[in-house]
Structure 1
Amino acid sequence: MAGHHGPGFNPHLPGFRHQFLAKALGATMWFFIFYRARQDGAKLLGLSHPWEAHGHGHHDEHGHEHH
C-alpha cells in the first residue's frame, strides 16, 4: 500500500517564484525580529525598564537646573 499512486492527495512542488517569495519574506521577518530584539530585547526580558533607556536627555531639555 505504501507504493500505491492513485487518486488522492498528490501535491506538486512549489514553483521558483513561490520559493523565492517565501525565502524573501522569511528573511525579512527574521531581520525585523532581530532588529527589534536589538532595540527592545532588554525591556522585553525585564532587564531594564522602558523609561530608563530613553537616552534622549528629556530632563535636561525641560530646564530643571534653574529651579
Structure 2
Amino acid sequence: MAGPTGPGFHPHLPGFRHQFLAKALGASMWFFIFYRAREDGPKLLGLRHPWEGHGHGHDAHAEHKEHH
C-alpha cells in the first residue's frame, strides 16, 4: 500500500523522552563496560593472575596462624 511519500515502510521518529532515555542507558552501559575493563582487564588478558591484588597479602594469613 502506497503512503503519502511513496511505497514502503515509514516509521515515526522517536520522541524526546525516548531519545534521552536511549542515550542515558547507552552511556551507563559504556561506563559500566569501561569500569569492568579497568578492574578485570589485566586478568582477562592474562597480564595478572585472578588471585593477585585482593588488597590483603599472605602476611595476614601467617599472622592469623601464629595467634592460634
TM-score range, shorter chain: 0.7 to 0.9
Tell me the residue number matched to 1:15: 15
Structure 2 portions without partners, runs of 5+: none
Deviation of 1:55 after TM superposition, in Å, equals 2.2
Deviation of 1:61 after TM superposition, in Å, equals 2.2
Deviation of 1:54 after TM superposition, in Å, equals 1.7
Tell me the residue number matched to 2:38: 38
RMSD: 2.1
Q: Check if 1:50 corresponds to 2:50.
A: yes
Provide the TM-score with structure 1 as the length reference.
Answer: 0.75
Provide the TM-score with structure 2 as the length reference.
Answer: 0.75
Out of 7-16 and 31-40, give the one that drifted further.
7-16
Tell me the residue number matched to 1:61: 60
Q: Percent identity?
A: 81
Aligned residues: 62
Deviation of 1:64 after TM superposition, in Å, equals 6.4
What do residues 12-59 of structure 1 show as CA deviations (whole Å, max 9, x unaligned)?
1110000000000000001101111111110011111101222222x2
Q: Which amino acid aligns with 2:18?
A: H
Tell me the residue number matched to 2:27: 27
